[in-house]
Amino acid sequence: MNMFRSAVVSLLLCSTAAIAAPATDESVKELLVVMQAQKLVNGIRAQVDSMMDNAVKQTLQGKVPTAKQQQAIDNMKNKMVAIVQEEIAWEQLEPLYLRIYKESLSEEEVIGIVAFYKTPAGQAFVEKMPLLTQKTLLEVQKISSEMGQKMQKVQKQFLADMLSTSK
């Protein structure tokens, strides 16, 4: 009987440990504050302009646009920046962050992460995150560009193969 009681107690302890309390809005909001998520989002919005400049330069391939072409480029960039500013606004993203973090993290995990972000190492990480994000985005943009070029070659070869087999 003693062994049975021990087994039941062990099962209860294990099952309550496995069922962690879900994160609350309050704790996730505190996490978003200490990790400066809103500042990071604003930084991403600012980087879009730079990324568009790089994309335009790649498209132009060193050619200087005419005045009309430059006006069209500026018009396109302004429209795209406006879209990004609207879609990547903190008011749009905060509910998304809340939902995803609450679905993915327990209250205990959020509390632990908040504690880390309040340390000097955590604050250093927060301060360097915009630079890390910017460097990562630039590298991914290079990879995407190279990948696009390779995929265009494959598509051209495919079209050539299709044309040659249809004759």
Residue 80 located in a structural domain? yes
Please tell me the pTM assigned to this model. Answer: 0.63
Which pLDDT does position 3 carry in this prediction?
59
Count each helix (H run) and each strand (E run) in the chain, helices first.
7, 0
What number is the average pLDDT over the span 96-110?
96
Q: For residue 22, give the 3-state DSSP assignment.
A: strand
Query: Contact 107/24 with Cβ under 8 angstroms?
Result: yes
Answer whether residue 56 is part of any domain: yes
The predicted-structure confidence for 23-42, as pLDDT tens digits, reads as follows: 999 999 999 999 999 988 88
Domain annotation covers residue 2: no
For the chain, what percent of residues have pLDDT higher than 90? 41
- Residue 18 is predicted with a pLDDT of 52
Q: Is 152 left (phi over 0), alpha (psi -120 to 50) or beta?
A: alpha
Which two tokens mark 3?
A: 């062994």
What mean pLDDT value characterizes the chain?
85
Report the candidate in 75, 29, 32, 35 with the shortest Cα–Cα distance to residue 52.
75
Would you say residue 151 lies in a domain? Answer: yes
If one counts the domains in the chain, the total is 1
Looking at the domain assignment, is residue 78 inside a domain?
A: yes
* Residue 60 within a domain: yes
Q: Give domain status of residue 7, yes or no.
A: no
| pLDDT over threshold 80, residue 76 | yes
For residue 44, the one-letter residue type is I
Residue 111 in 3-state DSSP? helix
pLDDT tens for residues 119-155? 999 999 999 988 888 888 889 888 988 888 889 999 9
Domain carrying residue 133: 25-165
Q: 């044309």: which residue's tokens?
A: 163
pLDDT level of residue 7 (50, 70, 90 thresholds)? low
Q: For residue 17, what pLDDT band results from cuts at 50, 70 and 90?
A: very low
Q: Do the domain assignments include residue 73?
A: yes
pLDDT at 57: 82
